[in-house]
């Protein structure tokens, strides 16, 4: 596929060792291996179960009565609004 020989693979491994360091290199290798395994598994067509369609049921929404201006506000909010300075143009 890519025709990589031994010198190219060694160069790639040395660069990876320099970039990631000896402590992180095994973790990076495991993560890449797991990712490739999941990708191959997802791409294979053997043993794939047919997916069933998903149905979503919506609940009816009840309309609430319109609240009068100022109702339902907390007293702290009203006090904060009263303390705001008036805007001037």
The per-residue DSSP string of the chain comes to -----HHHHHHHHHHHHHHHHHHHHHHHHHHHHHHHHHHHHHH--TTPPPPPPP--PPPPPPPPPPPPTTTT--HHHHHHHHHSPPP--
Whether the pTM exceeds 0.75: the reply is no
Confidence band, pLDDT 50/70/90 cuts, at residue 72: low
What pLDDT is attached to residue 82? 55
Instruction: Give the model confidence (pLDDT) of 29-68 as tens digits.
Output: 899 899 999 988 888 866 556 677 888 888 888 776 555 5
What pLDDT is attached to residue 76? 59
What pLDDT is attached to residue 37? 92
């Amino acid at each position: 596929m890519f025709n990589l020989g031994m010198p190219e693979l060694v160069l790639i491994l040395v660069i990876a060792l320099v970039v990631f360091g000896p402590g992180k290199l095994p973790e990076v290798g495991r993560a890449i291996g797991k990712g490739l395994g999941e990708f191959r598994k997802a791409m294979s067509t053997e043993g794939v179960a047919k997916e069933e369609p998903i149905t979503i049921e919506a609940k009816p929404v009840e309309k609430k009565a319109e609240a009068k201006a100022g109702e339902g506000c907390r007293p702290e909010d009203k006090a904060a609004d009263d303390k705001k300075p008036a805007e001037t143009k």
